Amino acid sequence: MKPTNMRTTQSWISISSSRGRKIGRLFCLPFAGGGASAYHRWPSRVLDGIEVARVNLPGRETRLREPLFDRLAPLIDVLVEELVHWIDGPFFLFGHSMGALLVFELARGLRCRHGLLPLHLFVSGFRAPHLPPSHLPFSHLPDAEFVDSVRRYGGLPDLVAQNEELLEIFLPILRADFAMTEKYIYLEESPLECPLTALGGLSDSEVSREEILAWNIHTSARFNTHFFPGGHFFLHDSEPLVLDQINHQLNEAMLDR
């Protein structure tokens, strides 16, 4: 019997109980350098009846001593087989930035290997995966140049950049995560048969409006886009607005069942 209280299974998934009777589960994947804690406020703010399942990737937070993944395909292979044990009813996938790429490939992996699809896929702050990257690779650069590049990307808070001890912890994580997206190779498959919502920041200098709109080719079902105040991390700047839109789509998905 699967637990409904907060706990982990093999460290990969942290489940928060839903408010009221459980009707579905929302899996949340982190951005580059981030962890499950990025979604710590979500369980109390998502639609009643939806459990929030925060994915804990190796090499960060509670799994800091574990080896990092720097290739996307092997990580997806593991994630598919981990998450399938937690899919016992309607489910949804959300990811921001690197996490958007992860949930896209995770949805394709679940479809291919287990015949499973989310009721709705949410991709946030990342270009459509068939498009070329907008910047040259920088995960291999020396520390100082790498830090400058990540800061321009908006992925390194000043507090971390100015603290040598924190940098020592975060640099390997960020290098591995950026390497994962830089070395990603898109392979064409048929579009996903689930609704897809692509979210973007109105002031995001890294991901353009056109790159967000281009996600439309990756679903044969309903496609939505929404843009929010803020830069690349509008997810934090406009969190209440983002959650309002997610809750609207979660509610529609449950009513359409």
Q: What is the DSSP letter of 33?
A: T
Residue-wise pLDDT tens digits, 192-237: 999 999 999 999 988 999 999 999 999 999 999 999 999 999 999 9
Residues 6 or more apart whose Cβ sits within 8 Å of residue 54: 13, 14, 16, 28, 36, 37, 39, 40, 42
Catalytic residue selected from 18, 97, 149, 238 = 97
Residue-wise pLDDT tens digits, 61-116: 999 999 999 999 999 999 999 999 999 999 999 999 999 999 999 999 999 999 99
pLDDT of residue 40: 93
Residues 6 or more apart whose Cβ sits within 8 Å of residue 214: 127, 128, 130, 131
**Cβ atoms 52, 16 nearer than 8 A:** yes
Active site residue 97: yes
Distances (CA, A) of 77 to 81, 100, 102, 141: 7, 16, 11, 28
Residue-wise pLDDT tens digits, 166-185: 888 889 999 999 999 999 99
Q: How many residues does the chain have?
A: 257
Q: What is the pTM of this model?
A: 0.92
pLDDT of residue 130: 98
pLDDT of residue 212: 98
- Where do the domains of the chain lie, and which CATH numbers do they carry? 8-132+188-256 (3.40.50.1820)
pLDDT of residue 25: 97
